[in-house]
């Protein structure tokens, strides 16, 4: 799987929610695109990741 341009090896199929949690992401402050399609926050738990997937994860940063 490719995440933000870097190769990541999955040990097994996992949900997007499990992957994000294990990787230390705050799911309330990110947007995720899987294979070119934005994944709604409500679908993180049901979205299954596979080795062939490409993810782009963007963190929201406040400031001014």
| pLDDT score at 63 | 74
Q: What is the DSSP string of 1-48?
A: -EETTEE---SS-EEHHHHHHHTT--GGGEEEEETTEEEPGGGTTT-E
Domain segments of the chain: what residues?
Answer: 2-59
According to CATH, the superfamily of the domain at 2-59 is: Beta-grasp domain (3.10.20.30)
| pLDDT score at 24 | 94
Task: Characterize the bridge pairing of strands 6-7 and 14-15.
Answer: unpaired
* Prediction pTM value: 0.89
Q: How long, in residues, is the chain?
A: 64
| pLDDT score at 34 | 98
Could you read off the pLDDT of 33-57 as tens digits, one per residue? 999 999 999 999 999 999 999 999 9
């Amino acid at each position: 799987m490719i995440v933000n341009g870097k190769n990541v090896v999955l040990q097994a199929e996992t949900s997007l929610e499990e992957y994000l949690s294990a990787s230390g992401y705050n799911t309330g402050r990110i947007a995720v695109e899987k294979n070119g399609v934005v994944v709604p926050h409500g679908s993180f738990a049901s979205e299954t990741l596979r080795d062939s997937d490409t993810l782009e994860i963007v963190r929201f940063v406040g400031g001014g």
